[in-house]
């Protein structure tokens, strides 16, 4: 398993991590993702560790905290071998202090996650979204306190816009506080908006990219094809999909090329889609999930080989879209370099 540096930090993480949103299934939404319990979770973790994928990604909102509890129990006796990433910010209750990135909420959220995970520290602590109601200084000062206390090793963010991330980095730099070294984002062959601003920002500021839903909620898994009904067992069919809808023709055109490349490489459609992401600038890690051992082993096999430059170019071309303003305008003046990607 290849390991890459997480942004401008000393932490090296595997290029694939295991996402635990499939653990628990204690709500209708997350039940459509999966309902893995402790014993099965241990088996899946064994497979990950055998492959060198020792980073496990979770969040306090996954199945209302149950996913963290299951991960903690499944990692008993093996914590020293592993890295844990979890998240806060999204609502965990009905009260006014049960969401956001305030000091009041984050300190309690961190303590609750530590308790559920059965650990003394979190390796990567993400802000799951940007809280526009809390001063950025308050959020980052609190995160720096958690780092200084040893409860958190590194901080990262998720689902931020460009100005959210840049302002946060500026505040950290001004005060000498811990800075975001990673950004967990929605990115795939089907949805490439991340490239317009956040990717160049990551290159410039040394922020590594961790990708969630790299197969676009299963649309790029190879199970959904032109002229075929969506499998009833798929997450999308069961109401667990995320992300904006795309025209069918765009999806099928991309899958057609994925099919061609999969035949050339003797890999699966999903493996090709994942491998394409691993060759993109700033991408350090893909968060892959699995409902069963077979699916997990297939996802893990997306590493250890590379698409050819010609195959990458074909996938680039079929998945390209005209960007929104000001990015389409910047493409008119390539000599200025703003649209280098």
Catalytic positions are 62
Instruction: Determine the Cα–Cα distance for residues 111 and 122; give it in Å rounded to an integer.
Output: 10
Please, which residues bridge with residue 85 across strands? 57, 124
Element (H, E) at 303: none
Task: Tell me which residue of 171, 325, 256 sits closest to 155, measured CA to CA.
Answer: 171
Coil, helix or strand at residue 126: strand
Structure token pair of residue 207: 């922020």
Instruction: Return the ∠ at Cα 133 (arms to 200 and 204), rounded to 5°.
Output: 15
| Contact present, 209 and 37 (Cβ < 8 Å) | no
- For 269, residues 6+ apart whose C-beta sits below 8 A from its C-beta are 220, 221, 222, 255, 258, 259, 262
Please, which residues bridge with residue 211 across strands? 185, 286
Structure token pair of residue 305: 């080989």
Task: Tell me which residue of 306, 4, 318 sits closest to 192, measured CA to CA.
Answer: 318
């Amino acid at each position: 398993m290849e390991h890459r540096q997480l942004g401008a930090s000393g932490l090296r993480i595997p290029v694939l991590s295991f996402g635990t949103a499939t653990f628990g299934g204690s709500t209708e939404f997350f039940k459509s993702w999966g309902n893995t319990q402790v014993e099965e979770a241990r088996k899946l973790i064994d497979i990950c560790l055998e492959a060198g994928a020792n980073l496990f990604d979770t969040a306090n909102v996954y199945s209302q905290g149950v996913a963290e509890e299951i991960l903690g129990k499944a990692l008993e006796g093996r914590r020293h071998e592993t890295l844990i990433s979890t998240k806060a910010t999204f609502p965990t209750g009905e009260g006014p202090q049960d969401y956001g990135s305030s000091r009041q909420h984050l300190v309690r959220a961190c303590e609750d996650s530590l308790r559920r995970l059965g650990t003394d520290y979190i390796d990567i602590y993400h802000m799951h979204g940007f809280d526009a109601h809390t001063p950025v200084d308050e959020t980052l000062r609190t995160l720096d306190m958690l780092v200084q206390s040893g409860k958190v090793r590194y901080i990262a963010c998720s689902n931020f816009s460009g100005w959210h991330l840049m302002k946060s980095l500026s505040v950290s730099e001004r005060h000498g506080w811990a800075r975001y070294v990673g950004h967990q984002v929605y990115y795939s062959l089907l949805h490439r908006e991340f490239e317009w601003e956040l990717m160049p920002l990551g290159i410039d500021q040394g922020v590594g990219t961790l990708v969630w839903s790299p197969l676009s909620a299963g649309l790029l898994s190879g199970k959904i094809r032109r002229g075929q009904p969506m499998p009833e067992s798929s997450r999308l069919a069961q109401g667990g999909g995320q992300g904006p809808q795309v025209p069918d023709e765009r999806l099928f055109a991309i899958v057609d090329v994925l099919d061609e490349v999969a035949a050339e490489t003797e890999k699966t459609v999903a493996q090709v889609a994942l491998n394409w992401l691993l060759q993109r600038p700033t991408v350090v890690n893909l968060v892959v999930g699995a409902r069963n051992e077979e699916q997990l082993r297939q996802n893990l096999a997306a590493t250890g080989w590379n698409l050819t430059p010609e195959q990458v170019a074909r996938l680039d071309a079929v998945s390209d879209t005209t960007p929104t303003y000001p990015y389409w305008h910047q493409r008119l003046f390539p000599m200025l370099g703003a649209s280098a990607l």
